Amino acid sequence: MQDALDTGTAVVALESTIFSNLGLPSPSNEEALNRCIRAVRKEGAVPALTAVLDGDLCAGVNPDTHERILESTTKVAARDLSTSVAKKLSVGATTVSASLVIASAIGIEVFATGGIGGVHRGADITGDISADLLAISNYPVLVVSAGAKSFLDLPKTLEYLETLSVPVLGWQTNFFPAFYLRSSGLSVSSRLDDVTEVAVVHRTRTNLGQGGTLLGVPIPADAEIDPSLVAEALEAALDDVEKLNLKGPEITPVVLASIAKATGGQSIPANLALAENNATVAAQVAVALLSV
């Protein structure tokens, strides 16, 4: 991976949680990984899957190790990286925050994920805010996602990103995407319709010594789930969370499983489509960054 960076090749970092047993169910997780890798390569960039393997922090893992990541049940966030190294963790799936730390450390400027974490509902009482947001503000990496996970408090998530001075860009849209939905109805700070514009925004921020940039890419129109069905599924999922008294990182896998059940499995192909689409846009931006 370092060779690609040294020779000026576009590189896109990928998190591994979505591809693990903590993300999509097997065999959909493997399909998602393969589709994202192909999408990045098709646009002329190199995919760099991040993970912890045998106590090493990795970006661009060997394909021979993919099976270990697909079977992983250990999630590693930014705060866990140092202890993972110290304890020589066998395999850990990296979250958005951990992936950004690893990507930034070796000079990768573009990162693709499904949806970022954010401010959880009821955070005014619990204080439950994802480390993803602080990581985006701290590390000079452009994050490409389908907005934030739809079970979060999206207005407060956007407000928190504004407080952290993170520009929330809309890819060919005026509205912040809501994962399974193309629009949350909430405005982005700027709409950009060209990858060169995105590259210039990010390059300007890095030149000024500012942090990362968030690019919200709507799920492809043909993969969007009916909004009323999403609302019903979210209500059922959040009921499950409350009954189980889940907190922080425990919430996401339970909610995703509940939504998959409530939507009759529609959320799985939706996840695959948005992850692949994000990888495509991320690769296009990574290539554009080489010229600005």
- pLDDT of amino acid 125: 83
- pLDDT of amino acid 50: 98
Domain 2-289: CATH superfamily is Indigoidine synthase domain (3.40.1790.10)
- pLDDT of amino acid 205: 97
Structure tokens at 11: 């590189």
- pLDDT of amino acid 103: 98
Q: How far apart are alpha carbons 124 and 132 in whole angstroms?
A: 18
- pLDDT of amino acid 87: 98
Catalytic residue among 15, 109, 224, 276: 15
The two most distant CA atoms of the chain are separated, in Å, by: 53
C-alpha 55: how far from its chain's center?
23
Catalytic residue among 109, 149, 224, 276: 149
Q: How far apart are alpha carbons 100 and 8 in whole angstroms?
A: 20
Residue type, 288: A
Q: How far apart are alpha carbons 231 and 242 in whole angstroms?
A: 17
CA distances from 10 to 27, 102, 137, 285 (A): 29, 16, 22, 9
- pLDDT of amino acid 126: 82
Asked if 43 is an active-site residue, the reply is no
Judge whether 110 and 80 are in contact, CB under 8 Å: no
- pLDDT of amino acid 248: 65
pLDDT along the chain (292 residues), means of 10: 80 97 92 98 98 97 95 96 98 98 98 96 87 98 94 95 98 97 97 98 97 98 92 81 74 75 86 98 98 94
Reduced to 3 states (helix: H, G, I; strand: E, B; else coil), residue 249 is helix
Asked if 15 is an active-site residue, the reply is yes
Q: How far apart are alpha carbons 286 and 277 in whole angstroms?
A: 14
